[in-house]
Chains A and B, each alone.
Chain A
Amino acid sequence: MSYYTLVTALPDLPPLAKCKQLPISRIALERRLTMLEEEDLKLLRLAESLYHFGEDQQKNFSDQKRVYQWQSQLQKVHSPEIRRCIELRLEWQSLLAALRQRQQGDKGPEHFFGLGRWTARIRQHWHEPAFGLENALPLLNELQPLMQKGAAGEVEKQINTWLWQNLIQVERSHAFTLETVICFVLRWGIAEKQIRNDADQALEAFESMADALISAPVIKEHIESAFEELS
C-alpha cells in the first residue's frame, strides 16, 4: 500500500512546548486513517494502546502481569522501529514506577517489575539515586529530584518532550511509510494528553485562586454584607 496520500493529508504538529491547540481533531484524524488497510490499522491501534496505555488498561492488573502483557503484545508489533519507540516509552514508564516505588518505601527491589534494558540494573542499584544510570540516561538526574518534590506533572512533561523528539526522529527517517503515520498518531496522542493536562491544571489553579480569594477576610466581609443587604 502507498502512504503518500495519507502522509500529505496529515497536518503539521507544532513543537510540543508551543502546542496549545490540536491542528486536527480525533474525528478528522480517524476519517483520514480510514485510508489505511485493515492490517495497518490493527498495528496502529496496538501501537497506540501500548504507547498511551493507562486509559484503557485494566486497573486491577499487578505490575508483573502488566509487564507480561506488554511483552506479549510487543511481539505482535512487526515494525522494528515502532517496536523500539514503544519499548523506549515503556522503559521510561518502568523507571518512573521504580522511582515511585522506592519513594513510597513499602516495597523492596524484589517486588519491582519493569520492561526493558534497565530492569535488572534497577534492582541491583535500587538504593542509588538514579539506579546507577546517570550516564546512560542523563534525563533521569533531572527527574529524580522532581519526583522527590512531588512534581509529577513536570516529570511527565519532560518525559513527553523526550519521547516527542524520539518520535520526530523516527518519523523523519521514514518518508511516506506506515512508520511515518504511526509516529504522527503517537505524537498527536502526546500533544492531546498535554493539552488536556494543561487545561486540568489551569482549572485547578483557577479553583484554588478563587477559594483563596473568597476566604480572604476583606472579600469575606464584602460578601457577607452583600448577602445581608439582599436579605
Chain B
Amino acid sequence: MDNLILALGWAGLYGPMALGAIGSMIGCSLAGQAAAGALLETETGHGRYIGISAMPSSQSIYGIVVMFALNRELTLGNAPGLAAIGLLCGLALMFSAIYQGRSCASAINVSKIRPEIFGMSLAPAAIVEGFAVFAFIFALVISAGVPA
C-alpha cells in the first residue's frame, strides 16, 4: 500500500508535465493540420496561421513550472496531496490544450475566408487559455500547503 501511495505521489509530480505535453501535442497537431490546409487556399498570411497553431504549446510550459513547484522529497505524508494536485492540474492542462487546438483550427478556417475577423476569431482560444492559466496559478498557490 505504501508503495502505491508513493507511486501516486510520483505520478502527481510528473503528471502536470506529461499530461500538459500530451495535450499540447494533440492541440498543436489539430491546429497545425488546419494551418497546413489553409496554406493551400490562401496567398498571404501564412505566418500567422502557423503562429496560431503553436498556441496550445503553452500548457506544456505551465506543466513544467507546476512540476518544479511540486518537486520535493516524497513521503507517505505528502504523496496523496502531490498526486491530487499534480494529476488534476495535468488533466486540466491536457484538456485545455486539446480544446484550444480545436478553437485554433476553427479560427484558422474562418479567418481564411474573412481575414478581417482574424483577431476576433482567436477570442475562444484565448478564453480557453485563461482557464489553463487558472489551473496553473492555483496549482502553484495550493502546492505551498503540501508538507515538504
Contact = CB atoms under 8 A, between A and B. Distances in A.
Interface residues of B, number: 16
Contact of A9 (B38, B105, B106, B113): B38
Interface string A1-36: 010111111111000000000000000000010000
B30 A9 contact: no
Given A4-B105, A176-B105, A10 B34 contact: no
Contacts, number: 43
A4 B34 contact: yes
Residue of A4, A10, A12 with highest tally of chain B CB at under 10 A: A4
A175 interface: yes
Nearest to A35: B37
A8 B30 contact: no
Contacts of A2: 30, 33
B120 interface: no
Q: Interface size bucket, A side?
A: 10 to 19
Nearest to A9: B37
A9 B109 contact: no
A153 to B, nearest CB: 30
B1 interface: no
A168 to B, nearest CB: 13
B11 to A, nearest CB: 29
A7 B34 CA distance: 8
A6 B34 CA distance: 8
Interface in A105-156: none
B112 A4 contact: no
B79 interface: no
Interface string B14-44: 0000000000000000100111111011000
A7 B36 CA distance: 10
B125 interface: no
A186 B30 CA distance: 25
Interface in B73-107: 102, 105-106
Contacts of B33: 2, 4-5, 8
B30, B40, B108: residue with the most chain A Cβ atoms closer than 10 Å: B40
Given A4-B30, A7-B37, A9-B37, 18 more contacts: A2-B30, A4-B33, A4-B105, A5-B33, A5-B34, A5-B36, A5-B37, A7-B34, A7-B109, A8-B33, A8-B37, A8-B41, A9-B41, A12-B112, A175-B102, A175-B106, A176-B102, A176-B105
28 contacts: A2-B33, A4-B30, A4-B33, A4-B34, A4-B37, A4-B105, A5-B33, A5-B34, A5-B36, A6-B37, A7-B109, A8-B33, A8-B34, A8-B36, A8-B37, A8-B41, A8-B108, A8-B112, A9-B37, A9-B40, A10-B37, A10-B41, A11-B41, A12-B112, A32-B40, A176-B34, A176-B102, A176-B109
Interface of B: 30, 33-38, 40-41, 102, 105-106, 108-109, 112-113
